[in-house]
Structures are given as structure tokens and as C-alpha cells.
Structure 1
């Protein structure tokens, strides 16, 4: 059985490998290969906006099985996902099985987990990431029968935090190449929209009228050639106009 020292050595080796990656695809493959010996074949690094926001624009890296993303979004599983809910509210790392289920707030929670298991994600481990922005983030790794011993959890905690930082840096590098299209106020209202806030809630937070918030969302959508608020948020994140970290 591997010791704490052995797992620490593996963690630092993984960090060294992750430090050398130069793109998101390489980051995914390197992160997965580091965790593969412990039964983790799926990795996700993402922001966790409040429902009903679409989580897709907040994904930094994602290796979900083919078809799962489409199913997850089509069925609006994010709203009832107990792992996502725990990731938005907890500070300490946790296994998927430790995520509390609230039947009233998450009536389909068991369905979400059962369908995830059916595509090879029977259990997993989550490292919540506290950010300076309005949206919490997390690193989530999963597999069919992953090892979840205390030493493996510690290793994933360390490597996961570094992988998140690396993903953010790579994303920031891509944003630096993008010409800014929006004003500061337009970016500000879109950041709160991305966090799931209504126009009224955003107006209270920023100390401006609801009408002004709606105006800035509308002009931002026009500049981004978006057809809706959700599309505007997705375009703003993709183009580097707003940050999810």
C-alpha cells in the first residue's frame, strides 16, 4: 500500500507535468493521466453559477463522456445536481457520495446520479475553489470505481488546486489575444447575469435602476451579436470579456 510520502511524490510529479502544458486539451489529457492509476477517467474544472444559469459557458476544461453534456443540459440536470449544489456551498473537498441531497430543492437528484453512473461516473471527488468573483468554482474528477482513500483525496486536493490555477492562466492567455468589445458597465452587469442574478437583483447590487441594467444587457448583446441574455453571457465568456474565476 502506498504511503503518504509516495502520494506526495506523485502529487508533486503531477504538478510539474501540469506546469508544462500549453493548452486546454493538453491540460485535460495530462490531468487525466495523472489520476488514471486511481480509477479517475473524467475531469471537469468549472465555475458554478446559481441555477437557472446554464453552466456550459463556465467550463474551463471538460472530459465528460460523449453525449453526457447534451443530456445534462437538455434535461436541466444542473438544477438538481447534488454534487454541483454542494460545490457551490461547501469549502472542504468531498466525495460525490458525501454530497447532501435535499429532496425538496433537488427532486431529481437521484436520477442525475443514476444516469451519471450509467455513463461511467459512478463516484467522484470534488475540490471546491473559492474565487474573488461572484461565482464559486470547483475541480470534479470521477470514475466507475475510483479509489477514494485519504491519501488519494489529499493528492487530488493538491493537484486539483494547481490544475484549476493552470486552467485559469491558460484561459487568461486566450483572453489577452481578444479585442475588448464591451464597456466596463456592460461587463459588470453581464458578470452578475452570469451568476444567475435577475435584472432587479443586479440593480440592487450595483445601485442603479433595473431599467439601466436591462439597457446595458441589451447593448452588450448587440455588441456581441447575441440573441438572448444567456447567449450574451456565453459569448462574453468565450471572447474573454468577462471572467468566471
Structure 2
């Protein structure tokens, strides 16, 4: 079936309605999972982007939904990485999506990206968004390797549109999702 802008708009509207119906973190996690899992996503996180310094005890409250590994979350909050996370900084100051392998990070930001690889969070992107009431959020997706289970059945319309998670050629897929420690991995991603 040929996709038309009307189909795309209808799919996006249905997605937004499913998010609107969420009443709990579990509801939101399930709604995001239903959309992202067919694209090969293995972990996701939806969180409020902090405007400034966040007290350590308040940091977990900024997570609206997520399936990050629990040991990574413990380390992340214990070390107060929210203050130095390149994905959060990007979401705070930009509107376009950030592929983690293209993040320009040094120091603690670089260490955060490298340590995340230890927990399988090596290939992903963060998409800054706004809620209807103007709250800035970041939606992050991660895939281990890049082994899509099946071709996505639906596409959705967001502004700004995110870059494709998987490029059309296998060579471009390889560049987009390099394994941790790969010789071709970006110096700012999971090399070393």
C-alpha cells in the first residue's frame, strides 16, 4: 500500500491519542514500546529536560518512563550524570534529534557515553520534544547492534522530523549502528 500524507497524519494522530490515554508510567512505557520495538529499539527513556541544576534526590523524578537497565540508572543518578550528559545538554539547547555516535563530548560527557556502552546503550538517539503545555522533554531510544525484528509497519510525522534510524543501504546501517569497541566507531561514541 502506498503511503500518503493522509495515512501518515492519521498514524501520527493515532500515536498521539495513545500517548494521551496514558495515565501511569507503565502505560507510557507500553505505548512507547509498541511504537519502537518493531524498529529494533531495545531500550527507551522519556524524561523532562531540566533547566538547570537538579538536586540528586530529585533526579529520578524527571524520568517519565523508561526501560534503561536498572544498574545503569543507579550509576547515572549516583554520579549525578544528569548535569553533564551530552544528550540532555543537546535536548536543552537544540530541537533536532541527536544520534549518540555524533555527540561532541569531552571529559565527563565522553565518560558517560563510554560507560553507557557497558550497559548495552551504545547505539541510539535522543529526540527533543515539547509537551502540549510547553514542557521540554527528551525521548531517547537505544538498539543493541542493529537487528530489526521486522520492517516497521508505520511511520509517524513529527516536527522536526528525526533522521531515519536505519538507512536504506546495509553499508549506511553499519555506519549508523557500530558495535562498541568497533575500530570505525566515533571517538565520541563507544570506542576504546
After TM superposition, the score normalised by the length of structure 2 is 0.61
Greater Rg over alpha carbons, structure = 1
1:57-206 alignment runs, 5 A limit: 57-101=61-105, 103=106, 107-130=107-130, 136-146=136-146, 155=156, 157=158
The CA distance in 2 between the partners of 1:156 and 1:74, in whole Å, is 36
- Structure 1 residue 142 displacement after superposition: 1.7
The CA distance in 1 between the partners of 2:18 and 2:52, in whole Å, is 35
How far does the alpha carbon of each residue in 1:135-168 deviate from its partner, in whole angstroms, 9 at most, with x for none?
A: 63222222223589xx99x73847x9xxxxxxxx
1:216-227 alignment runs, 5 A limit: none
The CA distance in 1 between the partners of 2:88 and 2:2, in whole Å, is 31
More helix by share: 1
The CA distance in 2 between the partners of 1:41 and 1:156, in whole Å, is 22
Ranked by relative contact order (alpha carbons within 8 Å, sequence separation 6 or more), the top structure is: 2
The CA distance in 1 between the partners of 2:15 and 2:130, in whole Å, is 22
The CA distance in 1 between the partners of 2:139 and 2:157, in whole Å, is 9
Name stretches of at least 5 consecutive residues in structure 1 with no aligned partner.
Answer: 161-245
The CA distance in 1 between the partners of 2:126 and 2:3, in whole Å, is 20
Name stretches of at least 5 consecutive residues in structure 2 with no aligned partner.
Answer: 162-192
How far does the alpha carbon of each residue in 1:181-205 deviate from its partner, in whole angstroms, 9 at most, with x for none?
A: xxxxxxxxxxxxxxxxxxxxxxxxx
1:44 maps onto 2:45 in alignment: yes
SS at match of 1:67: helix
How far does the alpha carbon of each residue in 1:10-41 deviate from its partner, in whole angstroms, 9 at most, with x for none?
A: 65554454454443202202211221121212
The CA distance in 2 between the partners of 1:84 and 1:123, in whole Å, is 16
The CA distance in 1 between the partners of 2:22 and 2:70, in whole Å, is 24
- Paired residues of 1:51 and 1:78 also in contact (CA < 8 A): no
Q: How many residues align?
A: 150
